[in-house]
A and B are shown apart, each in its own frame.
Chain A
Amino acid sequence: MGYLLKLAARNLWRQKRRTALTFLAIAVGLAALIEVDCIMAGVDRDAIDNLINLETGDVRIHAQGYSAERESLPIDRTLDPDAVLTVLKDVEKIRAATPRLMFGARLNTGWEEIPVMGVGIDPERDGQVFTLAEYVDGRWPARGAAEALLGYDLARVLELAPGDTFTLVTRTRDGAFQAIDLTVAGLIRSPHPQVNSGQVYLPLDVASQALALGGAATEVVLKTQDGARVEDVSRNVRAALEDAGISGEVLTWRDAASDFLAISQSKQGFSALLIFMILVIAVVGVVNTILLGAMERVREIGMMKAMGMTTREIVLLFMLEATGIGVLGSVTGCLIGIAGNAYLVSHGIDILESYKGLDIGYPIAGVIRGAWNWPMIAEAFLLGIVVSWVASYIPARRVAAQDPIASLRQG
């Protein structure tokens, strides 16, 4: 085995250019796989962060039956926020909670009208759960004030600036038309595209009153303490609500994330495609290397067999050469991949410029930063080696099966 290893290594070294070409092709494929995965992992992480920080919180509570009709933004299934907040006081591992009121509306500027999502927020509590306040250019609205925060993209389309007024046209719980006159207090430029393009935030008390809801909210959202499992917290919240006789639905951010898991799956499809391409590159490269090597070394192989080397040993020799290519490809690919990852993690790539206005269905925008996914890198490493090794078996067998007499007669 030792002498076969030495021989394999020497043979690879002898055909430097061919070896390099093959292992670099594998390396590039593996590096691409690692890079893409790094971005995807980063996108997922950012998307989940944005989802939690700007949309769903860690855990949220709706009135019974709300989620089933969530798409239509019903306002006839509401919660009394004070009652729910009182119950939550006694539940462990909750850092903060805040009510929100989501409703469909049309934003009317006097010459244009477009559909938006109205979001009633509790100006004093919202910042304890959501990071919205970090992204506000302008003033944060006050309780009871007819003021609103507008997504930056929405404001740009409608040519609205802080200080301008507009009307939110909607329907009350009873179906009556309602027109809420509001002043733009500030603009939101967040990393969550939907927040920037379709959301209007106004004080919850103003919204709830206008919709004839008497202070009710469509959800109470809470932030858990660090290290708490959202599933545990949601279970405790559910129990506490039940004890207090409040019928509600308790969801975690994971339930909402299932919406973009579909995209995660297409992401996996993309990785699968890359893996397939790597397979093809590796198989073609390795098979080519072995067959060319065998053609050049027909008499050498004949001689080895004459000297008593078994077919198995010759197969092993060629498979070692192929595996060597795989190892070189894997090492190089992973090093390139890790270097690329380091850049993507520390600098990221700016998709805002190239994909402006493109809603890819992910709650992300701006600079995408990669995330380390070491298991994937390990997988890529093994992939390169295993594929090369497996791909070499059949051509190696063919080469080793040659008749030594015929081989020796050649040349």
Chain B
Amino acid sequence: MMVGTGIRTKIGLRMAMALLVALAIGSTELSGAGAAVEAADLTAEEIVARMDANAYMASAHLVAKLVIRAGSREITKQMEGWVVGNQKAMVTFLNPGDRGTKYLKLGDELWMFFPDAEDLVKISGHMLKQGMMGSDFSYQDALESEKMGELYEFKLAGVETYDGARCYVLEATALPGKQVSYPKRKIWVDCEKFVARREELYAASGKLLKVSRVEEVKEKGGRTYASRVVMEDKLKRGSSTTLIIEQVEFDVKIPDDVFSLRNLMR
């Protein structure tokens, strides 16, 4: 079913996922364009468009830490990542247990390399859909690179103060015919910075599956980014994944061969 790479693939994928998700929602320019607009004047679509526009950066290089908690167990992983837009990403693990394990995302393709087994795995095509049998993440999730606005219909449910910040509360429902993992989402968007502060992910039945929360926001080079994001699995008591971005550089020049299979296997 999961082509032999089994659990390792899954846990690794979960981390990579968290990283990619965090990057996608994590940064926005502080140029002030957002701050000038009055909250009440915006429609749901406009808010989403602003958020989408802000969410995608030109490029970034970062060092991050993942803390995975499952009940009383806690695992920490260290990694380094290079990202260009939402099309290219390379993640390499630095902590002893996983050193040399790498993930490469190129558009719709996802590659994984496990150094101890010298095992290169490509996830694509039909495996994307059948792969996961209802597990936490699917490969499809990792590769969902369409903009939110193209997948969901949004409704502005109100404005709330969340974690000390004024936030729009948006309810997203999947557009008919679009294949999405979460048919319903609820997003708290910072009224000033147009950064998602909290997101709730729902199953088709309306049951809450996951919550991601931004716990800390930092600034760097005129950008705001979420430096600490917690993803909680609501079906599993005490299960969470925390992403902590320790170092980041935005708009750096990344040589193209970073996102190559050759680099993946090196």
**A adjacent to B, CB under 8 Å:** yes
The residues of A with any CB-CB pair to B shorter than 8 Å are 69, 71-74, 104-106, 108, 110-113, 115, 167, 169-172, 174-181, 210, 212
Contact mask for chain B residues 227-265; partner A; CB cutoff 8 A; 1 contact, 0 none: 000000001111000000000000000000000000000
Residue B138 at the chain A interface, CB threshold 8 Å: yes
Contacts of B71 in A (CB 8 A): 111
Q: Is the CB of B237 within 8 A of A177?
A: no
List 8 A-B pairs, Cβ < 8 Å: A72-B130, A104-B134, A111-B71, A167-B207, A169-B209, A171-B138, A175-B138, A179-B235
Contacts of B132 in A (CB 8 A): 171
**Nearest CB to that of B128 among chain A residues?**
A175
Contacts of B204 in A (CB 8 A): 172, 176-179, 210, 212
**Nearest CB to that of A111 among chain B residues?**
B237
Q: Is the CB of B133 within 8 A of A177?
A: no
Q: Is the CB of B140 within 8 A of A175?
A: yes
Instruction: Tell me the bound Cα distance from A318 to B135 in angstroms.
Output: 73
The residues of B with any CB-CB pair to A shorter than 8 Å are 1, 71, 129-130, 132-135, 138, 140, 174, 179-183, 201-205, 207, 209, 235-238
Contacts of B134 in A (CB 8 A): 104-106, 115, 169-171, 177-178
**Nearest CB to that of B210 among chain A residues?**
A177
Contacts of A113 in B (CB 8 A): 235-236
Known interface pairs A105-B134, A169-B134, A212-B204. Does A175 touch B236 (Cβ–Cβ under 8 Å)? no
Distance in Å: Cβ of B4 to nearest Cβ of chain A: 14
With beta carbons under 8 angstroms apart, the residue of A106, A177, A210 that contacts B182 is A177
**Nearest CB to that of A108 among chain B residues?**
B235
Contacts of B1 in A (CB 8 A): 71-72
Instruction: Tell me the bound Cα distance from A110 to B237 in angstroms.
Output: 6
A sample of 4 more A-B contacts (CB under 8 A), given A111-B237, A174-B179, A179-B205, is A106-B135, A176-B203, A178-B205, A181-B207
Q: Is the CB of A176 within 8 A of B236?
A: no
Instruction: Tell me the bound Cα distance from A74 to B235 in angstroms.
Output: 24
Contacts of B201 in A (CB 8 A): 177
Instruction: Tell me the bound Cα distance from A167 to B202 in angstroms.
Output: 14
Q: Is the CB of A179 within 8 A of B237?
A: no
Known interface pairs A108-B236, A110-B237, A111-B237. Does A178 touch B203 (Cβ–Cβ under 8 Å)? yes
Known interface pairs A176-B181, A178-B204, A179-B209. Does A169 touch B235 (Cβ–Cβ under 8 Å)? yes
Instruction: Tell me the bound Cα distance from A303 to B168 in angstroms.
Output: 119
Distance in Å: Cβ of A171 to nearest Cβ of chain B: 6
Distance in Å: Cβ of A81 to nearest Cβ of chain B: 22
Known interface pairs A72-B1, A72-B130. Does A110 touch B209 (Cβ–Cβ under 8 Å)? no
Contacts of B183 in A (CB 8 A): 172, 176-177
With beta carbons under 8 angstroms apart, the residue of A73, A110, A176, A210 that contacts B174 is A176
Contacts of A181 in B (CB 8 A): 205, 207
Q: Is the CB of B235 within 8 A of A176?
A: no
Residue of B1, B138, B204, B236 most packed against chain A (CB within 10 A):
B204
Contacts of B209 in A (CB 8 A): 169, 177, 179
Instruction: Tell me the bound Cα distance from A105 to B132 in angstroms.
Output: 9
Q: Is the CB of B203 within 8 A of A175?
A: no
Q: Is the CB of A175 within 8 A of B129?
A: yes
Q: Is the CB of B133 within 8 A of A175?
A: no
Distance in Å: Cβ of A181 to nearest Cβ of chain B: 7
Contacts of B140 in A (CB 8 A): 175
Q: Is the CB of B182 within 8 A of A176?
A: yes
Contacts of A212 in B (CB 8 A): 204
Instruction: Tell me the bound Cα distance from A175 to B181 in angstroms.
Output: 6
Distance in Å: Cβ of A228 to nearest Cβ of chain B: 36
Known interface pairs A72-B130, A175-B138, A175-B140. Does A110 touch B236 (Cβ–Cβ under 8 Å)? yes
Q: Is the CB of A175 within 8 A of B207?
A: no
Q: Is the CB of A105 within 8 A of B180?
A: no
Instruction: Tell me the bound Cα distance from A115 to B135 in angstroms.
Output: 8
Distance in Å: Cβ of A389 to nearest Cβ of chain B: 54
Known interface pairs A110-B235, A111-B237, A167-B235. Does A177 touch B203 (Cβ–Cβ under 8 Å)? yes
**Nearest CB to that of B183 among chain A residues?**
A176
Known interface pairs A110-B235, A110-B237. Does A175 touch B180 (Cβ–Cβ under 8 Å)? yes
Distance in Å: Cβ of A148 to nearest Cβ of chain B: 15
Distance in Å: Cβ of A87 to nearest Cβ of chain B: 29
With beta carbons under 8 angstroms apart, the residue of B133, B174, B179, B238 that contacts A105 is B133
Distance in Å: Cβ of A110 to nearest Cβ of chain B: 5
Distance in Å: Cβ of A361 to nearest Cβ of chain B: 18
Contacts of B179 in A (CB 8 A): 174-176
Q: Is the CB of A111 within 8 A of B236?
A: yes
Contacts of B182 in A (CB 8 A): 176-177
Distance in Å: Cβ of A134 to nearest Cβ of chain B: 29
Contacts of B174 in A (CB 8 A): 176
**Nearest CB to that of B132 among chain A residues?**
A171
Instruction: Tell me the bound Cα distance from A180 to B204 in angstroms.
Output: 9
Distance in Å: Cβ of B13 to nearest Cβ of chain A: 16
Distance in Å: Cβ of B224 to nearest Cβ of chain A: 30
Residue of A74, A111, A176 most packed against chain B (CB within 10 A):
A176
Instruction: Tell me the bound Cα distance from A72 to B3 in angstroms.
Output: 12
Known interface pairs A106-B134, A169-B134. Does A179 touch B207 (Cβ–Cβ under 8 Å)? yes
Q: Is the CB of A177 within 8 A of B181?
A: yes
